[in-house]
Amino acid sequence: MSTTSQKHRDFVAEPMGDKPVTALSGIGDVLGKKLEEQGFDKAFVVLGQFLLLRKDCELFSEWLKDTSGANSRQAASCSQCLAEWCNNFL
């Protein structure tokens, strides 16, 4: 994970506020919709799950793969994004 996407940098740069779940890097429209269906409509709800898993990227990736059908790259990107956000703002 040497390079990060623009989306990642945008998300990590500021507090997430009320951003939708699709603002997370690695979460596109399709995955976002699946997450919304399960109640994870905002980025902070996903953050909540991430924190419940004690910021364990591995477990979180697994969860994301299960709930939204993300692939490994998407899940890793999302967890890295959240982990970095936590480092900056928590």
Partner 1 sequence: MPVFVENPAQFSKQRLKSELISHSVDLPPADSAKQLYLEVYMKHVGNKNSADFSSDEEEQVQDGNEEEERGEDSDMVDLSSLTDDQLKCKLLQYGVKAGPIVASTRALYERKLHRMMTQHSKHSVNNKDDAGKYSDSEEEESGSEQLGPESVSHTDPSVTPSTEAVTDVLMEMFPDTALTPTGITATKRRSIKGAAGRPVQFKYPETPLSPATLERREIQQRLVPLWVQIAVFLLVAALLYFIYISMEEPLENPFGALLNGLSQEPSSDDLALVPNSQDTHT
Query: Which chain residues interact with partner 1 by CB under 8 A?
Result: 49, 52-54, 56, 59, 62-63, 66
Shortest distance in whole angstroms from residue 22 CB to partner 1 = 20
Tokens for 54? 């004690």
- Please say which residue, 37 or 66, places its beta carbon nearer to partner 1: 66
Shortest distance in whole angstroms from residue 39 CB to partner 1 = 9
Q: Please name the residue that has the structure tokens 């898993």.
A: 53
Shortest distance in whole angstroms from residue 90 CB to partner 1 = 15
Residues 66, 70: Cα–Cα separation, whole Å: 8
In b/e form, how buried is each residue of 54-63, taking b as 16+ CB within 10 angstroms? ebebeebbeb
